[in-house]
Amino acid sequence: MTEHVPRTALVDRLDAAIRPRAAHVQRALASPVRNTRMAVVVGRVLGLAFVVCFLTGLYSHVLQSPLDGIVTPTRPEHLYGWTQGTHVVVGSMLLPLLLAKLWVVYPRLFRWPPLSGVLSALERGSVAVLVATALVLPVTGILNILEWYPWEFSFRRTHFALAWMLIGALALHIAVQLPAIRAHWRRDDGDVVDGGVRDD
């Protein structure tokens, strides 16, 4: 007859097996530039790019689908062209910025335990939504520029809905990370971060 291992004993065994492996992976991926300071530096540029794209996209959407009672500016004459140009250029920059941010924070995927409570679960969930939408939006945007639509859904409606999801996830992520952002927004000569690696 097979013995049933109590749940706590099973959890303890799994923890004992996975914890050293997770620590080993984090050490193997360690780099002097993979720290909170660098995550904040890249994150603030990426966040600004998201906001610029969201606002210019919102302006474009309201022009194409006017809302009752909202009057949109039509002057200067080339305002729409400038906002759309900004949307396309900054939107195209999102991919390399996002890849840089993911490279910096990649070792954190192997943190153990993966969740330490409700706040941690909320953060991980918001990050999953943020990364997914941040990858889909610029890729579908670039395909829209090329006028190639290898999907069945409406590009404009889906792009607009995903933009709101991204901004919501970004706001939640910033709220959760605010203490780290405030601590590492500016570099001070005395700062020591992430395992003793100084920011240079």
Band of pLDDT at residue 24, cut at 50, 70 and 90? low
Per-residue b/e over 67-104, b at no fewer than 16 CB within 10 Å?
eeeeeeeeeeeeebeebeeebbebbebbbebbebbeeb
Instruction: Spell out the long-range contacts of 173-181 with Cβ–Cβ below 8 A and sequence spacing 24 or more.
Output: 173/123, 173/126, 173/127, 173/130, 174/47, 176/119, 176/122, 176/123, 176/126, 177/123, 180/36, 180/39, 180/40, 181/40, 181/43, 181/44
pLDDT at 53 > cutoff 90: yes
Fold of 33-184: Fumarate Reductase Cytochrome B subunit (1.20.950)
Q: What is the pLDDT of residues 34-44, one digit of tens each?
A: 888 889 999 99
pLDDT at 189 > cutoff 50: no
Which residue ranges make up each domain of the chain?
Answer: 33-184
pTM: 0.76
Q: What is the pLDDT of residues 126-152, one digit of tens each?
A: 888 999 999 999 999 999 999 999 988
Residue 28: the pLDDT is: 67
Residue 63: the pLDDT is: 85
Q: What is the mean pLDDT of residues 29-35?
A: 76
Q: What is the mean pLDDT of residues 90-101?
A: 92
